[in-house]
Amino acid sequence: MTNPEISTGGVPVDAAPVGADIDAPAQTPSSPRKGMFGITGSGDVSGFGGLVRRQPEVIGSPKPYGSYFDEVTDALEEAFPAFADAIEKVVVEHDELTLHVKAERIAEVAQAMRDDEALRFELCSSVSGVDYLNSDARRLHVIYHLTSMTYRRRVRLEVAVPLEGTVPTVTSVYPTADWQERETYDMFGVVFTGHPNLTRILMPDDWEGHPQRKDYPLGGVAVEYKGAEIPPPDQRRVYQ
């Protein structure tokens, strides 16, 4: 356990990443958190026991990437001179192309992806976030899925920022990212600079915390109904 002092308030504690090998035995260091059914430590599949997550390292793919991926990266290199500086890694996996982009360059890259004749990613299909707990400098990832209707291609852009980091908005390139960036802000707390109206969208305006973060507990909020308060599962009585 790296930081035992932050084990307060029923929030799962940061656990050191355990081997990236998928065949490794399920090592689950004991968690100070109690599960819903009185289970402590590991082996809990109820979901309330503070599951230990393992973090495989992302490795860049070697050229040639295959499929249409070489064409896309070559076209982007041509259309976007700062390619080498802005693109950290190119990953091909599950027959999908991922470009890891430096957070501060994402809007420029998106602009090139949309406007270049050979790229033409007209549609921003989806913006979502992922919280990689334990990787502090690259903890929050924002992931953009672009679609080229002209060439029938898809590409994924991924940026990573620390907790307090900011990402330039892509709403000026793709207006459809407006609500999706608001959702990512609401759920993960990623701040999109230059967004026209970065407010919460799914949670109430006065909500505290960002629910999709990994250190935000499931059902960790007391529920109030007609004046009576029901504590969150991990703070309820335990029958053993």
Binding site for other proteins (CB under 8 A): 20, 22, 45-48, 51, 53-56, 93-94, 96, 98, 122-126, 128-131, 143, 145, 149, 152, 154, 156, 174-180, 183, 187, 200-204, 211-212, 218
Q: Which is nearer to other proteins, 77 or 172 (CB)?
A: 172
Distance CA 7, CA 9 (A): 7
Could you tell me the smallest distance in angstroms from the CB atom of residue 177 to other proteins?
A: 8
Could you tell me the smallest distance in angstroms from the CB atom of residue 72 to other proteins?
A: 15
Q: Which is nearer to other proteins, 1 or 203 (CB)?
A: 203
Distance CA 240, CA 72 (A): 59
Could you tell me the smallest distance in angstroms from the CB atom of residue 176 to other proteins?
A: 3
**Among 234, 181, 237, residue whose Cα is nearest residue 40:** 234
Distance CA 237, CA 87 (A): 51
Could you tell me the smallest distance in angstroms from the CB atom of residue 180 to other proteins?
A: 7
| Two structure tokens written together for 185 | 């802000």
Q: Which is nearer to other proteins, 56 or 81 (CB)?
A: 56
143 Rama class: left (phi>0) / alpha (psi -120 to 50) / beta: beta
Residues 6+ apart with CB under 8 A from 210: 186, 187, 188, 189, 216
Q: Which is nearer to other proteins, 54 or 102 (CB)?
A: 54
Q: Which is nearer to other proteins, 105 or 210 (CB)?
A: 210
Could you tell me the smallest distance in angstroms from the CB atom of residue 149 to other proteins?
A: 6
Q: Which is nearer to other proteins, 11 or 77 (CB)?
A: 11
Could you tell me the smallest distance in angstroms from the CB atom of residue 25 to other proteins?
A: 11
Q: Which is nearer to other proteins, 112 or 170 (CB)?
A: 170
**Residue 225: C-alpha distances to residues 202, 222, 230, 231, 233 (Å):** 21, 10, 8, 11, 16
**Helices and strands in the chain, H and E counts:** 4, 9
Could you tell me the smallest distance in angstroms from the CB atom of residue 119 to other proteins?
A: 15
How many other CB atoms are found less than 10 A from the CB of residue 74? 14
State the alpha helices, DSSP H only, in the chain: 69-79, 83-86, 106-115, 177-188
